[in-house]
Structure 1
Amino acid sequence: MQLLALSKPAPSIDPEDLAGLIPSEAHHVWQHYLEGFVRHAYFRTGRDDPGAVLILEADSVDHATAVLDAMPLRRAGLITFEVIPIGPFVLWDALVTPPAA
């Protein structure tokens, strides 16, 4: 199943603590990408709430959450994740009228 994972910094974190773990976090994300767990990785832009946006492939929300909880920034309590199951949009026929012949 595919999931959307939204990270956000924990309240009142020290940016230096965050910066010190970024190389390790990037390495973990890269390894999970190579394994097929992370399908896409993005940063939020143009907003006041920074964080990452990940598209994941996992067996369940619980499985995805367990993997994310083992990431360095999450283990250190510096970020939180919201994990949302997603699926393909299947209502095209109900929304799109075929053109007249």
Structure 2
Amino acid sequence: MKVFAIGTITSPPTAEQQQQIMPKEVPHTLQLYLDGKIEQFWFRQDRPGVIFLMSVASVEAAKAEVDRLPLTEGGFMTFELIPAGPLAPLGRLIQGG
């Protein structure tokens, strides 16, 4: 299943907190990518945060993964999780053909 995980920084960490958290956050995120759980990732352009396209078994599995990220655990970031799938109505265009 594909899940868009839209992360928003809700409480920006101080410079000191960033120095403590980011050396853990980046490797954790990269490990999720290497494990195939994050397929693509982007920085948000509208506000501080990230967008992950995740490949996971369920929305609950996506939540479990992003909840373990240091910024989320520290209360600095929250995620909105949106399940996505094929554009099923397109199938009507090819039925009977």
Normalising by structure 1, report the TM-score.
Answer: 0.80
Match of 1:82 among 67, 80, 88: 80
Q: Distance in 2 between matches of 1:77 and 1:17?
A: 15
Q: CA RMSD in A?
A: 1.8
Size of the aligned set, in residue pairs, is 92
Which residue in the other structure is 1:32 paired with? 32
Match of 2:18 in 1: 19
* Cα drift, residue 16 of structure 1: 2.0
Cα distance in 2, alignment partners of residues 17 and 5 from structure 1: 26
Specify every segment of 5 or more residues in structure 1 that has no aligned partner in the other structure, as ranges.
Answer: 96-101
- Where in structure 2 are the equivalents of 1:47-62 lying within 5 Å? 47=46, 49-62=47-60
Higher gyration radius (CA)? 1
Q: 1:17 to 1:67 in 2, by over 3 A?
A: farther
Deviation string, structure 1 residues 66-92 (Cα, Å, up to 9, x no partner): 111111111111100001101122334
Of the three residues 64, 67, 74, the one matched with 2:65 is 67
Structure 2 unaligned regions, length at least 5:
none
TM-score by length of 2: 0.83
Q: Percent identity?
A: 32
Which amino acid in 2 is paired with 1:16? Answer: A
Counterpart Cα distance in 1 of 2:29 and 2:13 = 22
Q: Which residue of the partner structure matches residue 41 of structure 2? A: 41
- SS for the counterpart of 2:86 is coil
